[in-house]
A and B are shown apart, each in its own frame.
Chain A
Amino acid sequence: MSSVATSRRRLAFSRFWGSFRQERAGMAGLVLLVVAVVLALVAPLFIDDSVTSVVRATGKPWAAPSLDHPFGTDESGRSILLMVWWGSRTSLLIGFLAALLSIVIGMVVGIAAGHFRGWIGAVLMRVTDWFLVLPSLITALVLAAILGGSTLTIIMAIGVTTWPSTARLIRAQTLSVEARPYIERSKALGGGHWHITTKHVLPNVAPLLLASTTLEVASAIVTESTLAFLGVSSNKTSWGTMLRASYDFGAPTKGAWWYILIPGLCILAVVMAFTLVGRALEAVLNPRLRKAGA
């Protein structure tokens, strides 16, 4: 029984991979993503925290890009290249974890709201709608400002304010899955709430979750950088805190374009990559779009 399901899923996955490979933009995004993640992971093999240390700066302050410092230096002579590389770890980590938190909350609430009709579902949807109208950036700013800007609280602030759209999406999908006859069969055979939600609903909503996770990571990275720019983030070097420093130390008036351009381009590239992958996933997984595209 389970081997049948496994082989069927493997087949479905290879079919999915086949059509994903057709999406040129999605593949480009995926390649870019893998490069960024690998670079962030191997960074400790080459550099360490000292690249962000003010006292051990290697160059002159505000040096334009040169052979020594390909992307120039900042206000205390630290190399932008190395800072960006090291900062990618914080930015990506926060992006991934915040998205994960947001998706997990959204998934649990969404499946529960779709599975338990009646008052539980109604209350959950009320709460979701309430969170949905809250301006998420403003709320995240307040939470981060109150709880202090450590990496953990930033992750929480982003996760807690961004889950409702996922919850709505997953609820709609859960409702449509639960209307299918095999759910009735499973109930008739004695399947409980846990069995139905984890064995039948979850595998069916998983592809959608994947697509929305990718998009969520993109927006979490932007939110993290915005929070850092608005000054509620910790002092850990990230792309956002670098841009904050560039603004604080007057890079725009000093004409230090490299200081502004490079961290921003990193954010843009990674966010674009996630967005492209997410959109390609949606296109592959949503049969209505696929038909329209043919």
Chain B
Amino acid sequence: MTTPLEAAEPAVQAAGSGDDRPAYRGTLKYALSKVGGALFSIAMVIVGTFFVFRLLPGDPVRNLAQGRNMTPTQLALERHRLGLDKSLIDQFFDFVGKTLHFDLGTSYEYKRPVLELIGERFPATLLLAGGGLVIAVSLGIWQGARAGWQRGSRFDRVSTGVSLVLWSMPTFWLGLLLLMVFGVGIGPIPGLFPTRGIESVDAPDGFAYVLDVANHMVLPCLTLVAVVYAQYLLVMRSSLLEEVGQDYVNVARAKGLRDEEVRRRHAVPNALLPTVTLVFMRIGFVVGGAVTVETIYSWPGLGQLFYEAIRVPDFTLMQGTFMLITVSVILMNTLADVVYHIIDPRVRSA
């Protein structure tokens, strides 16, 4: 890991701004500007959410009540309770104030605070999406590096072909197929894995519980990984192709390093950085996949909560989960930007 960074160092100094400020100050300034940008984006999300959800055709109270019969008095009371009898500007400041205090309102369907519901569902999503992401990233990077290094080889053609097919596949369709074949069972194949939920009805305790959850996680995780890993493979492959012809790779070869060592110690670390940023930049894609996967396998996570909110439709819940998901994605992106800046000296000069 150190060698390629050293190789890149002189270029940085040459291209650097030429002043003698310590490097960390530049990084700090960069981080602050990125965090500022993120705060601005989050503010825009809150403002945008307010206006988009006011675009709803029809009377918001009736929308929220989902056509339940209400007397005019009840409607008026409800309107007053929700603050909808105030002017749009007052409503806006109410909404912003409440959101900043993490008050996301009360779900109509569950009759409970949205934030509480989100808190309950969050761990399941973290487990599924986090686990899936780790597997997908490692698999994609490993295969992509091998495919790119041996461009045109059989390994390259097969893995690129497979990932293109998986990439073209809608997540939910793959989920349905896996559900049918491995969950329910078809023809001679018996159902191997549970088809819904995160735990059995009579979930055991202790280590057996962990196994039970893992067993429930196989199919959802497999679906998520299959669709997500393909893009990492393709990105890692093309990123490695950029490195293959570089001088330092030739130097490493000229030094007499074995081919595998040139790849592992010189080319891959350099190709890794753009790929890793991309992983974080496309985190929204994984979140979208998680919504679909959780829906199919009734995985009790945020995605399923969001899906239920859309189906009902429960607009307060939809609004709350939407804001939470979007803000988390923005934060992840910012984190990736800053970390990338710290670990890759090349971008600092750019």
Q: Which residues of A contact B (CB under 8 A)?
A: 129-130, 133-139, 141-143, 145-148, 218, 222, 225-226, 229-232, 240, 243, 246-247, 251-253, 255, 257, 260-261, 264, 267-268, 271-272, 275-276, 292
* 25 contacting pairs across A/B (C-beta < 8 A): A130-B44, A136-B288, A137-B284, A137-B288, A141-B310, A142-B52, A142-B310, A142-B322, A218-B168, A226-B170, A226-B171, A226-B172, A226-B292, A230-B292, A230-B307, A251-B180, A255-B184, A260-B177, A261-B177, A264-B170, A267-B170, A268-B168, A272-B165, A272-B168, A292-B241
Which residues on the A side are within 8 Å of B195 (C-beta)? 252
Q: Does B295 contact A (CB under 8 A)?
A: yes
Q: How distant is B175 from chain A, measured CB to nearest CB, in Å?
A: 9
Report which of A136, A222, A264, A271 forms a contact with B284, defined as CB distance below 8 A: A136
Shortest Cβ-Cβ A-B pairs, 8 listed? A135-B284, A137-B288, A264-B173, A252-B180, A271-B168, A272-B168, A229-B172, A145-B310
Enumerate chain B interface residues (CB-CB to A < 8 A): 37, 41, 44-45, 52-53, 55-57, 164-165, 167-173, 176-177, 179-180, 183-184, 186, 195, 241, 245, 281, 283-285, 287-288, 291-292, 295-296, 306-307, 310-311, 313, 318, 322, 325-326, 329-330, 333
Complex formed: what's the CA distance from A276 to B41 in Å?
35
A166 to B306 alpha-carbon distance, docked (Å): 28
- State in angstroms the CA–CA spacing of A110 and B177 once bound together: 40
Contact check, B170 vs A222: say whether CB atoms are below 8 A apart. yes
Complex CA–CA separation, A142 to B314 (angstroms): 11
Partner of A264, one of B165, B176, B313, B333: B176
Instruction: Report the Cα distance A142→B53, complex, angstroms.
Output: 9
Q: Are A247 and B310 in contact (CB under 8 A)?
A: no
Q: A141-B291, A141-B310, A275-B167 are in contact. Are A133 and B318 (CB under 8 A)?
A: no
Q: State A15–B141 Cα separation when bound (angstroms).
A: 36
Q: How far, in Å, is A140 (CB) from chain B's closest CB?
A: 9
Are B310 and A230 in touch, CB under 8 angstroms? yes
Please give me the residue from chain A that is nearest to B329 by CB atom: A135
Whether B180 pairs with A138 at a CB distance below 8 angstroms is no
Interface residues of B, dominant DSSP: helix
Cβ of B325: which chain A residues have Cβ within 8 Å of it? 135, 138
The answer to whether A133 and B284 touch across the interface, beta carbons within 8 angstroms, is yes
Q: B179 to chain A: which residues have CB within 8 Å?
A: 252
> From DSSP, what is the main secondary structure of chain A's interface residues?
helix
**Complex CA–CA separation, A146 to B322 (angstroms):** 13
Known interface pairs A138-B325, A231-B310, A252-B179; A243-B173 also in contact (CB < 8 Å): yes
Q: Which of B55, B171, B173, B333 contacts A260 (CB 8 A)?
A: B173
Are A243's CB and B176's CB within 8 A? yes
Q: By the criterion CB–CB under 8 Å, are A146 and B55 in contact? A: yes
Known interface pairs A135-B325, A137-B288, A229-B292; A130-B41 also in contact (CB < 8 Å): yes
Residues of B with C-beta under 8 A to A251: 176, 180
| Identity of the chain A residue whose Cβ is nearest the Cβ of B45 in the assembled complex | A134
Chain B residues in 8 Å Cβ range of A275: 164, 167-168
Number of A-B contacts (CB under 8 A): 133
Output the nearest chain B residue to A292 by Cβ-Cβ distance. Answer: B241
CB distance from B169 to the nearest CB of A (A): 6
Q: Quick check: A257 and B180 within 8 Å, CB to CB? A: yes
Residues of chain B within 8 A of A145, CB atoms compared: 310, 313, 318
Known contacts A138-B287, A252-B183, A147 near B55 by CB under 8 Å:
yes
- Contact between B322 and A247 (Cβ–Cβ < 8 Å)? no
CB-nearest residue of chain A to B56? A146
Q: A128 to chain B: closest CB distance in Å?
A: 12
With both beta carbons as reference points, the residue of chain A lying nearest to B166 in the complex is identified as A268
Complex-state Cα separation, A147 to B315, whole angstroms: 12
Q: Which residues of A contact B241 (CB under 8 A)?
A: 292
Q: How far is the CB of A276 from chain B (nearest CB, A)?
A: 8
B71 to chain A, nearest CB (A): 27
- Across-interface contacts of B292 in A (CB, < 8 A): 226, 229-230
Which B residue's beta carbon lies closest to that of A136?
B284
B158 to chain A, nearest CB (A): 14
What residues on A are CB-neighbors of B173 within 8 Å?
Answer: 225, 243, 260, 264, 267-268
Chain B residues with CB under 8 Å of A148's CB are: 57
- Identify A135's interface contact among B53, B177, B285, CB under 8 A: B285
CA separation between A268 and B296, bound complex, in Å? Answer: 19
List A contacts of B167 (CB < 8 A).
Answer: 275
Enumerate chain A residues within 8 angstroms of B164, measured Cβ to Cβ. 272, 275-276
> Contact: A133 with B180, CB < 8 Å?
no
- A229, B170: Cβ atoms under 8 Å? yes
Contact present for A255 and B333 (CB under 8 Å):
no
**A276-B168 Cα distance, complex, nearest whole Å:** 10
> Of B56, B184, B291, which is within 8 A of A230 by CB?
B291
Chain A residues, CB < 8 A from B171: 226
A135 touches B170 (CB 8 A): no
Residue on A nearest B63 in the bound complex, by CB: A146
The smallest C-beta distance from B307 to any residue of chain A, in angstroms, reads: 6
Give complex CA distance A148, B55 in Å: 11
Excluding A225-B172, A243-B176, 15 further A-B contacts by CB distance (< 8 Å) are A130-B44, A135-B287, A142-B310, A142-B318, A143-B52, A222-B168, A230-B292, A230-B310, A251-B180, A255-B184, A260-B177, A267-B169, A268-B168, A272-B168, A275-B168
* Closest Cβ neighbor of B152 among chain A residues: A293
| Bound Cα distance A247, B292 (Å) | 13
Find B311's partner among A135, A226, A231 (CB 8 Å cutoff): A231
Residues of B within 8 A of A271 (CB): 168-169
A255 CA / B183 CA spacing, docked (Å):
11
B132 vs chain A, min Cβ distance (A): 16
Q: Which of A135, A243, A252 contacts B326 (CB 8 A)?
A: A135
Q: Tell me, rounded to whole Å, the shortest Cβ–Cβ distance linking A144 to chain B.
A: 9
* Chain B contacts for A138, CB-based, 8 A: 284, 287-288, 291, 306, 322, 325-326
